[in-house]
Structure formats: structure tokens, C-alpha cells
Amino acid sequence: YLFENVEAGEYEVSAVVPGAAMEETISVNLEEGQTAKADLVFGGATLAGRVVDAESGVGARDVTIVLSPVQEPGLLGQMQSQFSFEIVTEVRGGGGSGMSMDVGGGAQSKVKTDDNGEFLVRFLKPGEYSLDTLGGAYVNGEYGPISVEEGRSVDDVVIEVQRGATLMGVVTSGESGQPLDGAPVSLTSNGSRDMSMARNGRFTFEGLDAGDYTLEVMGSGFGSDPVVSQVV
């Protein structure tokens, strides 16, 4: 990499490479007219494994793996910034699915399983990590802690996930009976909220736990009041 015509001062240089657990950062102090060299070295271990369907043993694809450092007791009282956002995606066969996610509270690495359910995280620093599984039509789960040592790879992690329930439906106009394309749909249970965008009126929620849910069709957007509500 090369940065030219940089003003004198103190800088941080950082990089993220595909599959890396964390970014690497170094500090650089540049003087007027100086040419400096600063190498970013990625080290640590590799964590590899496979996510499988608990009933069939077949690899579970498109499952998101969230790897989070386990906090030490002395760090529990430290405040770290956190925010929430909502993701809405289209799914094969029509309709959409989504999820709400909290971000912050510590460094996290996210990877997705391939068609065989396999995943790989590189350049993982030593320590203990918790592992969460999200999406892929499976119920969210927790795994760990996993201990990682410097320079020693962990490649035998096998995680079983339970296939969740699927909720599908159609949003139609009460006046014409025609499907309403692009209608925002919300599914809420025990404080957890999933979002979907109806495509040609159809919506889909996958990977659901058994239980009661509140299904709402929102107004002009996700922040508006619901125009209709139903318990499922």
C-alpha cells in the first residue's frame, strides 16, 4: 500500500483482509518530508468448523457465525457503545426475510457457512470466544466457549442447529383484494423483532422458535404505526 503527499502528524493505519477476525492497526508519526514504512502483520490462529442440521446431519448453509471474545470479569463494568439496526433481505421463491441486530459491546467477527455448512475464521487472536449461530432457516443458537491459543489452529468445531418453523403469508388490499407489493411486515415475540418486506404481497419468516408472535403490517415504513395486527 502507498499513501502520498501526506501532511506531517500522527496517524493510525489499519487494514481488514477477507476472513480475518479483527482488523490490524498500527500508529505512525510522520515528520515533514519524511518517507516512512509501516507493515501490518496479521497473526494468530485459524478457527474452522462445520454447522450441520441436527436431524439429518447435512451441512447447514447460509448460517451466520458470530464470534465474540468472552469478556474478563474486570471488564464487565466498562461501558461500550452499542446500537441496533434492522436488516431486510429477499429470499428465494418470493417474499422477504429479515432480522434485527445489536452491534457493539465488544469486537465481533461474522462469517457465513458455505453450501456444505463449513466456515473459516483466520487471524484469530488468543483467548476465549463465544459463538452464536443466526439465520439460514435455523433457530438461533449459542456455542462455546472456544479456547484459541497463539499459532494453534482449531479445525474440529461441529455445531448442530435445529431447523425452525416457517411463517408465510400474503398482504392484500382490503378494498381490491390485490397483493400489496413492498408492504413492511413485522414479527415480534418476547421483545425480539424480525422484519420482512412483502414481494408481490408475499412474505416469509424462517428459523422461528415455537411460540406466540405478533404479526403486523406497517404503514408507510418500519417506523410507522401498524395498520393491521394479528397474533400467530
Q: What is the pLDDT of residue 119?
A: 93
Predicted confidence (pLDDT) at residue 22 exceeds the cutoff of 80: no
Q: In what order do the strands lie in the sheet with 45-53?
A: 118-124, 45-53, 154-161
Least reliable range by pLDDT among 68-77, 129-138, 148-157, 163-172? 68-77
β-pair type (192-197, 184-189): antiparallel
Band the pLDDT of 218: cuts 50, 70, 90: confident
Taking residues 141-169, report their average pLDDT.
90
Taking residues 22-29, report their average pLDDT.
89
Q: What is the pLDDT of residue 75?
A: 42
Give the SS3 label for residue 182: coil
| Mean confidence (pLDDT) of the chain | 82
Band the pLDDT of 30: cuts 50, 70, 90: very high
pTM of the model: 0.66
pLDDT tens by residue, 157-188:
999 999 999 999 999 998 899 999 988 999 99
Predicted confidence (pLDDT) at residue 108 exceeds the cutoff of 70: no
Integer Cα distance of 46 and 29 in angstroms? 32
Integer Cα distance of 164 and 155 in angstroms? 27
pLDDT tens by residue, 36-65:
999 998 888 889 999 999 999 999 999 999
Q: What is the pLDDT of residue 8?
A: 94
